[in-house]
């Protein structure tokens, strides 16, 4: 079974609008971390935001927020006030405490911001 599922291969959003990128995960480990990365066309993977399984509040980092719904095992990324520079691939990832250093990545969502 897929550990991380991203069901939106491509998304479009108007500049200055908000967009939600979906991510669901599968784990039986009570301790885990959820991450979002951005990959522009240059190839580099840029860390955006982290949510721990025991965190009571949704994580926020500037224009990025993570809508964490633990019971539904979803960790959607919300980008507010989209900018042209937000156009990139976005990957959801999970790290389980019991699995040490291994990350599991989804297949990614390609976001295009339209002027």
Partner 1 sequence: ETGVTQTPRHLVMGMTNKKSLKCEQHLGHNAMYWYKQSAKKPLELMFVYNFKEQTENNSVPSRFSPECPNSSHLFLHLHTLQPEDSALYLCASSQAGLSNYGYTFGSGTRLTVV
Which residues are at the interface with partner 1 (CB under 8 A)?
4, 31-33, 35, 37, 42-47, 50, 52, 91, 95-97, 100-108
Q: Which is nearer to partner 1, 59 or 82 (CB)?
A: 59
Q: For the residues of 10-72, what is the DSSP string, one character each?
A: EEEEETTS-EEE--EE----SSEEEEEEEE-TT---EEEEEEETT-SS--EETTEEEEEETTT
Q: Which is nearer to partner 1, 42 or 56 (CB)?
A: 42
Q: How far is the CB of 7 from partner 1 (least distance, A)?
A: 13
Q: How far is the CB of 40 from partner 1 (least distance, A)?
A: 10
Q: How far is the CB of 115 from partner 1 (least distance, A)?
A: 27
Q: Which of 89, 79, 86, 84 is nearest to 18 (CA)?
A: 79
Q: Which residue has the tokens 């066309």?
A: 41
Q: Which is nearer to partner 1, 13 or 36 (CB)?
A: 36
């Amino acid at each position: 079974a897929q550990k991380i599922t991203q069901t939106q291969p491509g998304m479009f959003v108007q500049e200055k609008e908000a967009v939600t990128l979906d991510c669901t995960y599968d784990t039986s480990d009570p301790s885990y971390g959820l991450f979002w990365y951005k990959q522009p066309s240059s190839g580099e993977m840029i860390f955006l935001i982290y949510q721990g399984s025991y965190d009571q509040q949704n994580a926020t980092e500037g224009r990025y927020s993570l809508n964490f719904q633990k019971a539904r095992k979803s960790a959607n990324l919300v980008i507010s006030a989209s900018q042209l520079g937000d156009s990139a691939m976005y990957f959801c990832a999970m790290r389980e405490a019991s699995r040490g250093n291994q990350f599991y990545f989804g297949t990614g969502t390609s976001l295009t911001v339209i002027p």
